[in-house]
Amino acid sequence: MLIWIKSALSPLEIRNRLLNPDEQFQKDLVAYLESCHVGEFLTGTMAEVKTKVPYRTTTRKGLHDVIDSEEYNPTPVGYADPTQTLPEAPPPLCDCNEEMCEACACSDSWWRSLAEVTDDLVLRSNVHTLRGCLRKDGTCSARFPRDVFTKTEVDLEDGYIHIKKLEPMINTITPDLTYLLRCNTDVTSLLSGTSIKAVVAYVSDYITKSSLKIYHMFDSVNSVLKRQTTEIGGSPIQQNNCRKLLMQMVNSLTSKLQIGSPMASLYLLKNPDHYTNHHFKPFWWKSYVGFVRAAWTADVQPAVPHQSSDDEIEAEPELEQLVLMKGKDCLVGATNVDDYVWRPSVFENTSLYDYLQMTTRVKRTPKQLVDFRKV
């Protein structure tokens, strides 16, 4: 969910105000952000919360089990797993100032319960456990653990805000939202144009998914089965293999829901959707156009300088990323544009469309590589 506050300052305006010596604006903004989301538990540290939350030691790592098999924390009478229950409505608000008011005591008790239940939910569903996310070098692909900040800090050099965060293994959350949804949530403020564009693209990728066709389903199941033939019959623990197989099939079906470039082109051309055995070749059009424009910059620049608009700044071509490929005894740099620019001499007079349509890039065999180097 992406929420844009009406009449709010833009990220650039916020940055400029933060860089100016306006202490009151900084205090107000920090107080607002800290009231919206937190990066720690509400009733103590993670170790202290673990002593309060009941859990059981089990070899089955369920979806909402607290993974800690060293000690056993018994479940008290009347305890209910908050991930399996609905939130309790707050009591009526009381504005009196009496010390022995029953309504005020009930309200205070509800707020204490909210903090305890929220910590229970965060411990069960929001704590990252570094399972299945470690790269070969031991780093986490999800970028955990996060940096810890004992208080909110504002970097006066670039205007970046480091929100107070005391727990490195959880994301920032809104306690009220966690209490209501009863599941894993991640709430953050977007204070840069880059992060806003990234989230818009991420959300758009989900809302543009269409219904899944039957042949997509069978294609996904078939591709997963082909990759996992050894695990299906070779492992003695068939239950885990079946569970893993079903998860991979579901993930594959999810990827099939995304609308690719060929499908988008069909819809724009008002052509019907149909199954075909053709394989579409990707064409890195934006990178190639940027390369051509860069080669003719001197000819297209205006003689009289003018001030660029925001649209023109956004339209500036980005630098092409260079991919380093490791050879036998050297490193080779390559980009997707190189295949279009440095074509074999026999294809010099062939259009780029025909060249991509008629050719396929393959890696030379060791024997072919030896013969090529002799030439």
Question: What does the pLDDT look like over 251-301, one tens digit per residue?
Answer: 776 666 666 677 777 778 888 776 677 777 888 888 888 888 887 765 555
Q: Which residue has the higher pLDDT, 160 or 55?
A: 160
Whether the predicted model's global pTM rises above the 0.75 cut: no
Residue 126 has pLDDT above 70, yes or no: yes
Strand partners, 148: none
The residue-averaged pLDDT of 42-64 equals 72
At residue 173, the pLDDT reads: 95
CA–CA gap between residue 200 and residue 264 (Å, rounded):
19
CA–CA gap between residue 172 and residue 164 (Å, rounded):
9
Residue 347, C-beta contacts closer than 8 angstroms, at least 6 positions apart: 355, 359
3-state helix, strand, coil in the chain (%, to 5): 45, 5, 50
Least Cα distance to 47 among 27, 66, 25, 20 occurs for 66
DSSP track, 57-76: --SS--TT-----SS-BPPP
At residue 89, the pLDDT reads: 92
Residue ranges per domain, the chain?
Answer: 11-202, 209-268, 285-294+319-374
Distance from the Cα of residue 156 to its chain's centroid:
28
Query: Crossing angle, helix 238-256 and helix 214-227, to 10 degrees?
Result: 140
How many beta carbons lie within 10 A of that of residue 29, not counting itself? Answer: 20
Grade residue 336 by pLDDT with cuts at 50, 70 and 90.
Answer: confident
Grade residue 229 by pLDDT with cuts at 50, 70 and 90.
Answer: low
Residue 43, C-beta contacts closer than 8 angstroms, at least 6 positions apart: 49, 52, 115, 116, 119
At residue 31, the pLDDT reads: 93
Q: Give me Rg for the CA atoms of the chain.
A: 29
Average pLDDT of the chain?
A: 79
CA–CA gap between residue 361 and residue 166 (Å, rounded):
51
Grade residue 361 by pLDDT with cuts at 50, 70 and 90.
Answer: confident
Q: Which residue has the higher pLDDT, 114 or 356?
A: 114
Grade residue 171 by pLDDT with cuts at 50, 70 and 90.
Answer: very high
